[in-house]
Structure 1
């Protein structure tokens, strides 16, 4: 049975995808600033939702995606073709390490696997999608430093402690923190995720902001509704 998530301007069929659409992905795609980017790369696209949201936002951008899971890559490619943005979207069924595009990018984005120390999931495909280690992030940041334009940006969404480790790695690669969005479920709660945005050779002051998902149990905040209103039918 098809598992289709209907957005305002496109639909995402999640069939065959180990990792379904989640809050991390839609927040990352809706909150980062990418509007002037000509070439965007989504690493680990999964269902393709982040790439599709960015294609909607950036009407003049080429959006390229890579996905290591063959079944998910095939499904994402179908989702791209079925959208109104298909002529500006390209799918590569490979890891970013094996990605052979020789061009550079204005913006690289990823909702990466981040369960670096948790127990392994018995489902092999979910394990591939959700488990990694710091070597993966070293490779990811090194890749971004090489493939980004002179003033290109990299945006990730990760847990707080991992974000702090990645900032240290990024500094060694001349990827400077430009923006940090601290995501909490409720106001006053602990930070559950951070969106971190790096820019090559950035010399400005980095900004820090808070984002609250819920104003009460089962009730989304105005922040959340505003961020997702261009995409979600419910808002």
Structure 2
């Protein structure tokens, strides 16, 4: 498959690994990495999100986990070929069985969210066959530092149950970004950020396109240090 080229790095892609998409770009650009010295990405795919976060904070080190062996090899290639390679590591690992003495200042994930179906397309990346919300949240709560952040992007329909499970695991919603595909449309995605400390909720809205196939000024500004937009 054709690689996806960003300003400071390139993403090699494969038909068997979930490709570069808007959800990953948004999480990579919006997750709060400012105070993180070490970060964990659950389900790296191509490594896109960790690479974007590594570009945004030059002091953060990253560990990426993926259960898909082909994704692990692809992430390894993309990490090694990037200017941030010294701060990027990845492992072939089932997150549910991941054991470490470390805790993380940031845990980030674009998790699978569809219930299991008959489709084989991007099955591990998109369907909750290997990792469901409860498993993800319970493990993240254990691995998060006391001042750490847990940041995800999920469909708006899943927001209520995700927040409820997080609260059951003493993770409190600190930040919510409602993502709209186009101006005046309904919210389609949520970026949710949790921490072990309850704080005043920061709520905002983000619009991807101002009209069909025309990016909003908000999106252009957010991604200007990443995307190579055609002129």
Question: TM-score of the superposition, structure 1-length normalised?
Answer: 0.93
Q: Does 1:197 align with 2:196?
A: no
Match of residue 109 from structure 2: 110
Structure 2: distance between partners of 1:196 and 1:104:
20
The Cα offsets for residues 181-222 of structure 1, whole Å up to 9 and x where unpaired, read as: 0001122211110000001122x2111111001111111001
| Gaps in structure 1 of 5+ consecutive residues | none
Structure 1: distance between partners of 2:27 and 2:65:
17
Match of residue 3 from structure 1: 2
Q: Does 1:187 align with 2:183?
A: yes
Match of residue 51 from structure 2: 52
Cα deviation, residue 101, structure 1: 2.9
Q: How does 1:139-178 map to 2 (within 5 A)?
A: 139-178=135-174
Structure 2: distance between partners of 1:230 and 1:92:
28
Q: How does 1:79-118 map to 2 (within 5 A)?
A: 79-116=78-115
Within the candidate set 118, 121, 125, 1:120 is matched to: 118
Checking the alignment, whether the CA contact within 8 Å between 2:104 and 2:148 is kept in structure 1 is: yes
Match of residue 30 from structure 1: 29
Checking the alignment, whether the CA contact within 8 Å between 1:176 and 1:201 is kept in structure 2 is: yes
Q: CA RMSD in A?
A: 1.6
The Cα offsets for residues 159-193 of structure 1, whole Å up to 9 and x where unpaired, read as: 11211111111111110000000001122211110
**Please, which moves more after superposition, 50-59 or 8-17?**
8-17
3-state secondary structure, aligned to 1:213: strand
Checking the alignment, whether the CA contact within 8 Å between 1:16 and 1:72 is kept in structure 2 is: no
Tell me the matched-pair count.
230
| Gaps in structure 2 of 5+ consecutive residues | none
Q: Which runs of 4+ in 1 moved over 4 A?
A: none
Cα deviation, residue 16, structure 1: 5.4
Structure 2: distance between partners of 1:9 and 1:122:
33
Checking the alignment, whether the CA contact within 8 Å between 1:16 and 1:75 is kept in structure 2 is: no
Structure 2: distance between partners of 1:122 and 1:173:
32
Structure 2: distance between partners of 1:217 and 1:160:
21
Match of residue 18 from structure 1: 17
Structure 2: distance between partners of 1:17 and 1:54:
24
